Amino acid sequence: MQETIVLGDVVVELTRKDVKHVHLTVHPPDGRVTLVAPRTTRTEVARAYAITKLGWIRSQRQQLEAQARETPREFVERESHYLWGRRYLLSIEEVDAKPTVKVSHRRLTLLVRPGTTADQRAEVIHGWHRALLHAVLPGLIATWQPKLGVQATGYFLQRMKTKWGSCNPRLGTIRINTELAKKPKDLLEYVVVHELAHLVEPTHNERFVAVLDRHWPRWRESRSELNALPLGPASR
């Protein structure tokens, strides 16, 4: 059961789970705050703990606010777009055929029917991103499952505002943010490893950290690099 702790301008989502220690997190991109505590933790104890961390919470939020954010894309000629961490210029071609995207040297060519709107062009690009991720994710998952000693029952792609990925240990599934098609492939791989590791340990406790330390020793650098990259636009 989730509770809400209000500390002035800071709202903390409190969840009790079978963990040994308290885990406080400020999530990108909007600074949502979560506190995971052992099941026996009283609300007033969790509140007191959160109060001691208010300075840290505000500091983390300031860093997120200062982080670069992509301006909303208009899907027009010579607009900048990113694929696997590289910048490309967009070229629009209107053709009476099924919409598609072609990649050449530092250029993305979006072929769409005449009169398409920016939202329709955005959906073509998003569908293309999904197809690219579907092409690489099964191989990544197949590579890392035996290394971690886990077996995922499936994966899903989803637009997510606050997470790069998520895991449902009970169902054995993982979710991957479609924004990762814009980021370097090694960071996509890190997110896959991170989420599969949750099938070993559902929480972010010491055991989970030990799994990452063993299988992806540079995970702290990967996490920092990923969170330092431009976030997606707030909305269209």
pLDDT, tens digit (0-9, with 9 covering 90-100), for 81-98: 999 999 999 999 999 999
| Domain coordinates in residue numbering, the chain | 2-66, 80-228
Which amino acid, 12? Answer: V
**Size (the chain), residues:** 236
Give me the chain's average pLDDT, please: 90
| Single-letter amino acid, residue 145 | Q
Q: Are 70 and 84 in contact (CB under 8 A)?
A: no
150 burial type by CB count under 10 A (0-12 exposed, 13-18 middle, 19+ buried): middle
CATH architecture of 80-228: 2-Layer Sandwich (3.30)
65-74 confidence digits (pLDDT tens): 765 556 778 9
Cβ-contact 162, 29 below 8 angstroms:
yes
Q: Which positions ≥6 away from 145 have C-beta within 8 Å? A: 151, 152, 196
* pLDDT tens profile 158-179: 988 778 899 999 999 999 999 9
pLDDT one-digit tens code per residue, 17-44 = 888 888 898 887 678 899 999 999 999 9
| Interval 174-229: pLDDT, tens | 999 999 999 999 999 999 999 999 999 998 889 999 999 999 999 989 988 887 77
- Contacts of residue 27, defined as CB under 8 A and 6 or more positions apart, other chains included, come to 33, 34, 162, 163
